[in-house]
Chains A and B, each alone.
Chain A
Amino acid sequence: MTEALAEKVDADRGAASATAVDGEGRAPVVVLENLGKRFGSGPPVLEDVNATVYQGEFVALLGASGCGKSTLLNLISGLDMPTSGAMEVPVGGAAFMFQDSALFPWRTARGNVELALKLRGVGKAERKARATELLDLVHLGHSSDKRPHELSGGMRQRVALARSLAQDRPLLLMDEPFAALDAITRDLLHNELERIWKETGRTIIFVTHNVREAVRLGQRVLLLSSKPGRVVAQWQVSEEHRTNAGAAGELTAEITARLREEIRRHA
C-alpha cells in the first residue's frame, strides 16, 4: 500500500516501519522523515519535516503564508521531488484539490468530473453514472451541465471536490481550497467536507493558514514553522472543540498564540 521513496535516507535515524500502527490500530498512509526541500541554491524552504498521517485521519496543516505548505503538498503528491529525507506515500498517488478550483473551462461540471474518471480508466457507461453520483454528493446535480464560468466560486470548489473524489484515491490533499470564499459559503463547505469525509472514509490533509478553519475541520492540527518550514507543534481536536464555543475558543486562542510566536521570531 505504501511505497518507500528514499532520497538520501539518513541511516542514523533509521526509517520508520511501514507497518507501525497508531493507538487506534490504523496504518500510516503518509510518513515523512526529515524531509527537506530547497529550490536551486536558495535557502531550504522545508527542513527536517517529520510527520505521520494515519488511515482515515483528517489532518489540518497550519502555517503562515509562504512557509511551504503548498510545497509540502506538492512533495506528497509527487508533483515535485524532495531534496533530502525520505517519505512514504500511497503507490497510486493522491487526489489533489487546488486553491483555485482549476477546473477546465472548456468542459462542463459533469465533463470535468468525467475526465477524472476517464483518466482513471473507468468505462463510458459507468463514468456517467458515477459522475452523477459524485455531483449529487456535493449537491450539484442541478448544475451539472454548466460551464465553470457560469458557477459561483463556492459551486466551482464543490465541482473540484467532486473531481478529486472521482480520482478515488485513499488520500486527499487539499490546498487552502476555501480561502477565497465568503464566510457563509465556507461554513457550508466545511459541513459538506466533514460529511463527505465521514461517508467516504478518505484520509485528508487539509492545508490552511486560518486557525479557526483548522480547528473546525481537523482531528489533529499540525503547525508548520516558517523559513525553514518544519512541524513544530501539534494539537488533538476533539468533537467537543467543534460543538462547544468555549472549548473551541480556548483551543483557537492557544494555537493562534503559538502561530504568532512563530511569526514573531522572524521580526
Chain B
Amino acid sequence: MPETLTSPMIKSGSAEEMRSLEAGLDSLQSDDTSRKSFDLSRVLLPLAAFIVLLLAWQFYVSLGLRRRDLVPGPLDVLGSLGALWQAGTAQEAVGTSLQRGLIGFVISIVVATPIGLLLSQVRILRRAFGPLISGLQVLPSVAWVPAAIIWFGLTDATVYFVMFMGAIPSIINGLIAGVDQIPPQYRRVGQVLGASRWEMAVHVVLPAALPGYVGGLKQGWAFSWRSLMAAEIIAMGGSLGFGLGSLLEQGRQLADMGIVMSAILIILFVGIAVELIVFAPVEKRLLRGRGLLAGSTR
C-alpha cells in the first residue's frame, strides 16, 4: 500500500528516555481494575423474583376460582413439604435421586469425553457417527424407558441406561462443538512451537475447547437429571429405590396435589442449586480468565 510520505522513522531518544516512556505506557494501558468480591444483587434479585411469583400464586388461589385440593396455595404446599420432611420421605427421595444423578453423570462424562475427543480428531469416525450422535441428542430419552424396562426389568440399571442415553450424546456434542470452534491460529502456534500430536491435544486443543466442553457438561447434566426424573416416574417398584420421580408419581396415585407440587418444587430447587453452586462459578471463572465476560450480563 503506497503511503503518503511523512517524516521517515529514525532512531530518537536515549535508552533511558525510552525505558521510562515504555513504563509509562505500560501502566497507562494495562487493565488494573480490582474485582468486586461478591455482589449482593446476585442473591437479592432472584429472591425478589421468587417472592413476587409466590405472591401472585397466593393471590390467584385466594380468588377461590378452583377447588383448593386441586390448586393448593403456597402455604398448603409448604405444609405438605413440612409433613414430607418430618416423615423423612423428602430427604430420602432427594438423597436417592441426587446420588443416582451424580453417579450417572460422572459415568456419562467418563464415557463421553474420550468418544468426543476421538470423533473431533478423526474425520472418518466423525462423518460416520456424527449424525447418529446428533440424532440421539434430539431423541427424548424417555423413549428408551419401555425398552430399558424390558431389558433390565425394574432395577437401577433401567434408570442409569435412560440417563446415559440422555447425557452422553449431549456431552459428546458439546466437546465436538468446542473443538470445532478453536481458532486455527492456535493450532498453527502449537505447530510452530513444535508440539507433538499428543502435546497439541493436551496443551492446545483441550484448553481451547474447554468453554464448549463445560457448556456440553451443563447440558449433559440437564439431560441426565430430566431423564432420571422421567425414568423414576415411569418405572416404580421392583428393586428400584424411592427417588423424587417416585415421590411425584406417588402423589398422583394418592391424588394428593400437595405432594405433587412439593415434588415438583424440590426437583426444580435441586436443578437451580446445582446450576448455582456447581456450573455457574466454574463457567464464570473460565470465561473471566480468558477475558470473555466483559460486557455480558452475567
A binds B: yes
> Could you list which residues of chain A lie within 8 angstroms of chain B, going by C-beta atoms?
64-65, 77, 79, 93-96, 98, 100, 102, 104-107, 115-116, 118-120, 139-140, 142-143, 146-155, 163, 167, 184-185, 187-188, 190-192, 195, 209-213, 215-216, 242-245, 248-249, 251-253, 256, 259-260, 263
Provide the residues of chain B in CB contact with A95, threshold 8 Å.
192
- Determine which of A139, A140, A260 lies in contact with B19 in the assembled complex, contact meaning CB atoms within 8 Å: A139
Given A77-B192, A147-B291, is A152 in contact with B203 using a C-beta cutoff of 8 Å? Answer: no
Chain B residues, Cβ within 8 Å of A119 = 190, 193-195, 199, 203
| Interchain CB contact under 8 A, A256 and B2 | yes
Q: Decide if B297 is an interface residue (CB 8 Å cutoff).
A: no
Query: Once bound together, how far apart are the Cα atoms of A243 and B11, in whole Å?
Result: 6
| B191, CB-defined interface residue at 8 Å | yes
Interface size on B, as a range, is: 35 or more
**A210 to B2 CA separation, bound complex (whole angstroms):** 8
Shortest A259–chain B CB gap in Å is 6
Chain A hits for B289, CB < 8 A: 105-106, 147
Name the contact of B7 in the complex, choosing from A77, A105, A249 (C-beta under 8 A).
A249
Q: Given A115-B193, A155-B29, do A252 and B2 touch, yes or no (CB 8 Å)?
A: no
Residue interface mask B7-42, A partner, CB < 8 A = 1: 111111101001101110110011100000000000
CB neighbours (8 Å) of A211 from chain B are: 3
Point out residues on B near A: beta carbons under 8 Å: 1-3, 5-13, 15, 18-19, 21-23, 25-26, 29-31, 185-186, 188-195, 199, 203-204, 207-208, 210, 289-292
Distance in angstroms between the alpha carbons of A150 and B29 in the assembled complex: 9
- Cβ A143 vs Cβ B30 within 8 A: yes
Q: Hey, which chain B residues are within 8 Å of A210, CB to CB? A: 3
Residue in B closest to A92 when the chains form the complex, CB atoms:
B194
Contact of A191 among B11, B186, B192, B290 (CB under 8 A): B11
16 contacts between A and B (CB under 8 A): A93-B194, A94-B192, A104-B204, A106-B290, A107-B207, A119-B190, A119-B203, A147-B291, A148-B291, A150-B30, A163-B193, A190-B9, A191-B11, A209-B1, A242-B10, A244-B10
> In angstroms, how far is the closest chain A Cβ from the Cβ of B105?
25
Q: How far is the CB of B74 from chain A (nearest CB, A)?
A: 45
Q: With a CB–CB cut-off of 8 A, which chain A residues contact B18? A: 188, 191
Check if B21 sits within 8 Å of A184, measured CB to CB: yes
Q: Which of these, A120, A212, A244, contacts B9 with CB under 8 Å? A: A212
A155, B30: Cβ atoms closer than 8 Å: yes
Contact (A252, B5) CB under 8 Å given A106-B208, A116-B193, A119-B193: yes
B290:A79 contact, CB within 8 angstroms: no
Among residues of A, the one whose C-beta sits closest to the C-beta of B291 is: A149
Chain A interface helix/strand/loop/mixed? helix
Which of chain B's residues has its CB closest to A212's CB?
B9
A115 to B189, CA, bound (A): 11
Residue of A nearest to B28 (CB): A152
CB pair B9 A213 closer than 8 Å: yes
By beta carbon, the residue of chain A nearest B9 is A216
Our pick among B3, B13, B22, B199 for the contact of A256 (Cβ within 8 Å) is: B3
With A139-B19, A188-B22, A245-B10 known as contacts, the answer to whether A167 contacts B29 (CB < 8 A) is no
Residues in B whose Cβ lies below 8 Å from that of A185: 25
CB of B27, distance to nearest CB on chain A (Å):
9
Contact A248/B210 with A143-B30, A150-B31, A185-B25 known, Cβ cut-off 8 Å: no
Is B2 within 8 A of A248, CB to CB? no
Q: Which residues of B contact A118 (CB under 8 A)?
A: 203
A1 to B23, CA, bound (A): 39
Q: Point out the residue from A100, A116, A120, A163 that lies within 8 Å of B185, measured CB to CB.
A: A100
Asked whether, in the complex, the Cβ of A105 is within 8 Å of the Cβ of B2, the reply is no
Report Cα–Cα, A65/B3, bound state, in Å: 12
Instruction: Name, among A106, A115, A146, A190, the residue most crowded by chain B CB atoms within 10 Å (CB to CB).
Output: A106
Report the bound CA distance from A216 to B11 in whole Å: 8
Q: How far is the CA of A150 from the CA of B203 in the complex (A)?
A: 21
Q: How far is the CB of A207 from chain B (nearest CB, A)?
A: 14
Q: A119-B195, A242-B11 are in contact. Are A188 and B21 (CB under 8 A)?
A: yes
Cα distance A215–B3 in the bound complex, in angstroms: 14
CB pair B8 A102 closer than 8 Å: no
Q: Which residue of A lies closest to B189 (CB)?
A: A102
Residue in A146, A154, A248 whose CB lies within 8 Å of B10: A248
- B185-A154 in contact (CB<8A): no
With a cutoff of 8 Å between Cβ atoms, the chain A residues found around residue B26 in the complex are 139-140, 142-143, 152, 155
Whether A146 contacts B1 by the Cβ 8 Å rule is no
A102 → chain B closest CB, angstroms: 5
Chain B residues contacting A146 (CB-CB under 8 Å) are 30
B30 partner, pick from A151, A209, A256, beta carbons under 8 A: A151
Is A152 in contact with B29, judged by CB distance below 8 angstroms? yes
CB–CB A120/B25 < 8 A: no
B12: chain A residues at CB < 8 Å are 187
For residue B279, give the distance in angstroms from its CB to the closest CB of chain A: 18
